[in-house]
């Protein structure tokens, strides 16, 4: 099974000037744990996760004033759609994170999370058990 088979798409994209509250509301409405942030000035693709929001709120930041730009992870590890799920899981384990942006060349295709990988692996195990 490959990353392209398990990734979440379409992805949630926000701008660097979205407030933390706006971003959190969009993430909650879509029931996702991260949002892709595209920098119009060319810094590339960043990611804002539930953990980033939690740290900002925990540090006393005002979610109605603070914008995504100040809390984005720009040092993103990317997955390719043809990676195996094992390769994606190993990259997450090495980096200590739960989301990978899936890219092909310069195009963002989706996001793969630990939850996506667990869902697919659990489904495959259930199917294998049912066929015995």
Q: What's the structural domain count of the chain? A: 1
| CATH number, domain with residue 16 | 3.10.580.10
Cis peptide before 10 (omega within 30 of 0): yes
Contact between 44 and 95 (Cβ < 8 Å): no
12 vs 6: CA distance, rounded Å? 16
pLDDT digits 0-9 by tens, 56-114: 999 999 999 999 988 887 778 899 999 999 999 999 999 998 999 999 988 889 999 99
41 vs 120: CA distance, rounded Å? 37
Structure confidence at residue 107 (pLDDT):
86
- Residue numbers of the domain that contains 36: 3-130
Pair of tokens at residue 54: 């939690």
Pair of tokens at residue 51: 């953990």
């Amino acid at each position: 099974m490959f990353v392209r088979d398990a990734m979440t798409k379409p992805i949630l994209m926000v701008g660097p000037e979205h407030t933390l509250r706006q971003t959190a509301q969009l993430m909650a409405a879509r029931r996702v744990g991260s949002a892709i942030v595209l920098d119009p000035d060319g810094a590339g693709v960043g990611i804002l996760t539930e953990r980033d929001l939690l740290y900002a709120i925990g540090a006393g930041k005002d979610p109605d004033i603070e914008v995504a730009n100040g809390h984005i992870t720009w040092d993103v590890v990317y997955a390719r759609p043809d990676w195996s799920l094992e390769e994606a899981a190993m990259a997450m384990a090495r980096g200590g994170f739960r989301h990978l942006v899936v890219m092909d060349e310069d195009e963002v295709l989706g996001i793969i999370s630990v939850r996506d990988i667990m869902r697919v692996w659990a489904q495959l195990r259930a199917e294998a058990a049912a066929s015995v």
